[in-house]
Structure 1
Amino acid sequence: MFGTSGIRGPVGDVVTADLALSVGRALGTETDRVVVGRDPRESGRLLVDALAAGLRETGTDVLDLGLAATPTVARAVGWEGCDAGVSVTASHNPPPDNGLKLWQPSGRAFDTQRRERITARVEAEDWTLEPWDGLGSREPADATERHVEALTGAVDFGEHDPPGVIVDVGNGAGGVTVEALSRLGCHVETLNASPDGRFPGRPSEPTPGNCGSLVSLVGDSDAALGIAHDGDADRMRGVAADGTFLSGDVLLAVLATASTSAGDRVAVPVDTSLAVEDYLADRGVETTRTPVGDVHVAAAVAAGAAFGGEPSGAWIWPGETLCPDGPLAAVKLAELATERPLAARAAEVPTYPIERDSLRAVDKGEVMDRIRETVAERYDDVSTMDGVRVNTDEGWFLLRASGTQPLVRVTAEAREEARAAELFETARSLAVAAGAETAEEY
């Protein structure tokens, strides 16, 4: 039922009001007070209603933030003294999807044990419903102001003038970034600032291909940087003043370097570039690899890593929160831009040839099983911590099932371009032979 980032899928098929009701009942049986919020998708309104009904039936009180960024919801769990939080969101997925992501008071997403317990209750319909006089309440609440205050308190521009920033909100819930940067004194311009779950301005995921307007606007302006969010603002991607869209790996290296000292550890997922590991190692910072997904990165951060990040745009600072907070990453990137141009920082990070693609796989579990069998027969240095990663003397490739969509992710990297292309074609051929297909829409 749960993927790497909660429950996600097409509304009316995988994600229904009935499912939200059941999750509410299951979660409510174990809690007394829960905070909920949603991204701008219209389906989120009915899903929140169903979720809240299930929670209230078990006697749990509900604090409803309404439209709110996912990191706002995650932070509010602890701020409001709640037992858990639920974001009704499909994050960067396309408009037909929605989902539910559950949060602990620490700001960390529900771990495997907690997810499995909720799943078991839903499947067994194992919950306790209260009589009419024992129902929980539902009250409106607002955590955005406190989130803005936390963001403005997390950075200091010092003697530097606040930078000009262009924020592409992506028609999502990331308006908190605009407010925080404005209060910090930045000159802020926006793109796609009106919340709209159809995401008419651009697809929700903040990729280079989807953020062409932001890149052009930043490059033609006096802005020091550009910021792009996904639908629920847990992700943040950046654009340098010269209009360069910073790759996820380069941005990871830049943020990690600024957030650590020699002897520290940084948590990164298995699909992170070798260049990040090499760059941090030169500065005395160790890299710890985790399965893909912010819940796994957060676990490594909670265990002692000084910073955690994913090339997809999720960034975690343990001194602030254990959730991926896109607005926090935005203000921190703005702080870095005041001290030194982002393009200069990025130029120091080596880049190795890396290729990524996504292939459709309706039954991604079966596809991955066939891939594992084939790879085990052909290669010696194989890791199955998350998907199937094959290491060679020249580089590596990784095949893994998406935790949020019916896709198999294909990644390959080497220090030489020709070898990276060979490894990528090998990996892609393995996926196709196992039953995966081209998925141009992703």
Structure 2
Amino acid sequence: MFGTSGVRGTVGDEITAETALAVGRAVGSDAERVLVGRDVRDSGALLADAASAGLRECGADVVRLGVVSTPTLARHVAWLDADAAVGVTASHNPAPDNGLKLWSRSGQAFDAAAIDRVERRIDDRDYDLQGYAALGTETTHDGASARVVDHLVGRFPAFEGLSVVVDLGNGTGRPTVEALVALGASVTTLNAQEDGRFPTRKSEPNADSLDGLCRTVEALDADLGIAHDGDADRMMAVTDAGAFVPGDVLLALFSREAVRSAPGSRVAVPVDTSLLVSDVVREAGGEVSYTRVGDVHVAEEAAKEGYGFGGEPSGAWIWPAETLCPDAHLAALRLAALVTESGPLSTLVEAVPTYETRRENVPVADKTRVMQRVAERLTAQFDETLTLDGVRVDAEDGWFLVRASGTEPLVRVTAEARDVAAAERLQSTARRVLDEALDD
């Protein structure tokens, strides 16, 4: 039922009020006080109502935060002395989708063990339903976003003279704007009106959806551009030259700064991360640890001792000393501080090495069986393999990854190296092994 980003799908099909009610009952059976928040989608109101009803049926007291960003909700679990939070959001998915993601007191998304408990209760209909006298209460809490802004402003120096364009994508990212303004930056907003239909651009901030931000930054001669997705757990950037910053490059910049701030520290990244990140981190004196794909897995690793940062090229950035939730507001201010201290973002990006990457998606009928055969072949043929999520093979001049899609009947092949010939060779090797598995 749950994936790495909670339960998510099309409203009226995979996601219904019954889904939210069941999740609320399951969470409420093991908690006393639970927060409920949602993103800007119209369907979120009824799903939040259903989740609240399920929580209260099982005796949990509910605190409603209303429409807030995901990092705002996650931070408030501890701030409001709650046991958990239910976020009604489909993050960067299109408007017809919605979902539910669960957050623990540490600000981290529910780990595998906690999700298993929720799923078991739902599958067995094992709910701790209460009688009239023991039903939970519901209250509202105003000012959650303002508290996040105040908290962030207190952690950064002034950004006087910095000009920033922020594309909110019609989502919940307003605290980023408020914090930048409070710190003295000159801010221009795009798509700032909250609208769960996402009428102006796709909710996911990527190179294809941020053409308007790129053109605006260049036209206004701004210092940088910031973009969020619908629930502001993702942050992507545009340079002062109006160029989109690839996620791997942004991950390398954040990772290097984290290691420089804490020499010898480690950085957690998913197995499909570019080689340039490990090169940059090692040059700065740190080490990279690989995880399964998904911010919940990155957060789980980054929570361990010795880690200063964790992130995904998709735009999820985690500073574990601050919060274990991907926090786009914090990331935006971190990037603004980096530009203020170190110079133009375009110059920082140009200094990061670029490598050759090859990607392809191969349709398969049974990805589980195919990946079993791929894993058997690759682990037998190569010494340096990592089987956390698919199979990653590291070579002297690069790496490749064969991994089943989590949502589609596909196997994804990624190969990367420091030059074109090596990348093509590694891709050919990966594809040959996959083809052999398919032939079987």
TM-score, normalised via structure 2 length: 0.92
Which residue of structure 2 aligns with residue 315 of structure 1? 317
Residue 156 of structure 1 is matched in structure 2 by 157
Q: Does 1:272 align with 2:289?
A: no
Q: Aligned with 2:171: secondary structure?
A: coil
Q: How many Å apart are 1:245 and its aligned residue?
A: 1.1
1:318 maps to amino acid: P
The aligned runs of 1:229-378 (5 Å cut-off) are: 229-261=228-260, 262-304=263-305, 305-339=307-341, 340-356=343-359, 366-377=366-377
Instruction: Map 1:36-435 onto structure 2 (within 5 A).
Output: 36-142=36-142, 143-157=144-158, 161-261=160-260, 262-304=263-305, 305-339=307-341, 340-356=343-359, 366-377=366-377, 379-381=381-383, 382-403=385-406, 408-424=411-427, 427=430
In 2, Cα distance between equivalents of 1:413 and 1:198: 37
Tell me how far 1:355 sits from its aligned partner.
3.5
Letter in 2 for 1:149: D
For residue 426 of structure 1, report the CA deviation from its aligned partner: 6.0
**In structure 2, do the counterparts of structure 1 residues 106 and 405 end up closer, same or farther at CA, with 3 Å as the change threshold?**
farther
Q: Write the distance in 2 (CA, Å) between the matches of 1:407 and 1:245.
A: 28
Gaps of 5+ in 2: none
Matches within 5 A, 1:11-50: 11-50=11-50
Superposition RMSD on alpha carbons, in Å? 2.1
Letter in 1 for 2:214: V
Whole-angstrom CA distance in 1 between matches of 2:10 and 2:402: 24
- Kept after mapping to 2: 8 A contact 1:59/1:129: yes
Are the structure 2 counterparts of residues 116 and 272 from structure 1 closer, same or farther at C-alpha, using a change threshold of 3 Å? same
The verdict on how the C-alpha distance between 1:39 and 1:357 changes in structure 2, with shifts beyond 3 A counting, is farther
Specify the SS of the correspondent of 2:94. Answer: coil
Q: Which moved more, 1:396-405 or 1:205-214?
A: 396-405
CA distance in 1, matches of 2:281, 2:165: 29
Pair 1:66–1:270, CA change in 2 (3 A): same
The question of whether the paired residues in 1 share the 8 Å contact of 2:149 and 2:175 is answered with: yes
What is the deviation of 1:353? 1.2
Is the CA contact 1:3–1:404 (under 8 Å) kept in the aligned structure 2?
A: no
Decide which moves more: 64-73 or 288-297. 288-297
> How many angstroms apart in 2 are the aligned matches of 1:214 and 1:385?
36
CA contact (8 A) 1:5 1:403 kept: no
SS at match of 2:21: helix
Aligned equivalents of 1:10 and 1:174: distance in 2?
A: 23
User: 1:228/1:422 Cα in 2 relative to 1: closer, same or farther (>3 Å)?
Assistant: farther
Deviation at 1:153, TM superposition (A): 1.7
Give a deviation string over 1:147-188, Cα, whole Å, max 9, x none.
11122122113xx62411101111111111111111111111
User: Residues 207 and 321 from structure 1, CA distance in 2 versus in 1: closer, same or farther, beyond 3 angstroms?
Assistant: same
Q: Aligned to 1:101, what secondary structure does the other structure show?
A: strand
Q: Give the residue type in structure 2 aligned to 1:337.
A: V
Q: C-alpha displacement at 1:281, in angstroms?
A: 0.7
Q: Alpha-carbon deviation of 1:344?
A: 1.6
Larger deviation, residues 184-193 vs 113-122 = 184-193
Separation in structure 2 between the aligned mates of residue 175 and residue 198 of structure 1, nearest angstrom? 17
What is the letter of the counterpart of residue 153 of structure 2? T
User: Structure 1 pair 248/377, CA: closer, same or farther in 2 (3 Å)?
Assistant: same
Give 1:357 deviation, angstroms: 5.3
For each residue in 1:385-431, what CA deviation from the matched residue of structure 2 results, as whole angstroms up to 9, or x when unmatched? 01222334432222334446676544221111233245446656877
- In structure 1, give the amino acid aligned to 2:335: L
Task: Report the Cα offset of residue 84 of structure 1.
Answer: 0.1
Residues 15, 402 of structure 1: alpha-carbon distance in 2 compared, 3 angstrom cutoff: farther
Q: How much has 1:282 moved relative to structure 2?
A: 1.1
Structure 1 distance, partners of 2:363, 2:11, is 19
- The TM-score normalised by the length of structure 1 is 0.91
Aligned equivalents of 1:433, 1:212: Cα separation in 2 = 41
Aligned amino acid, residue 23 of structure 1: V
Contact 1:215 1:244 in 2 (8 A): yes
Q: Is the partner of 1:260 in helix, strand or coil?
A: helix
Report what 1:440 is aligned to. Answer: none
After superposition, the Cα gap between the structure-2 partners of 1:25 and 1:200, relative to the gap in structure 1 and judged at 3 Å, is: same
Alpha carbons 2:233, 2:327 under 8 Å: kept: yes
- 2 CA distance for matches of 1:32 and 1:286? 40
Equivalent residues of 1:58, 1:136 under 8 A apart: yes
- The aligned residue for residue 439 of structure 1 is none
1:17 touches 1:47 (CA, 8 Å); kept in 2? yes
**In structure 1, C-alpha distance between the alignment counterparts of 2:327 and 2:361, rounded to whole Å:** 25
Contact persistence 2:367–2:409 (CA under 8 A): no
Take 2:219 and 2:100, find their aligned partners in 1: how far apart are those partners? 39
Q: Percent identity?
A: 53
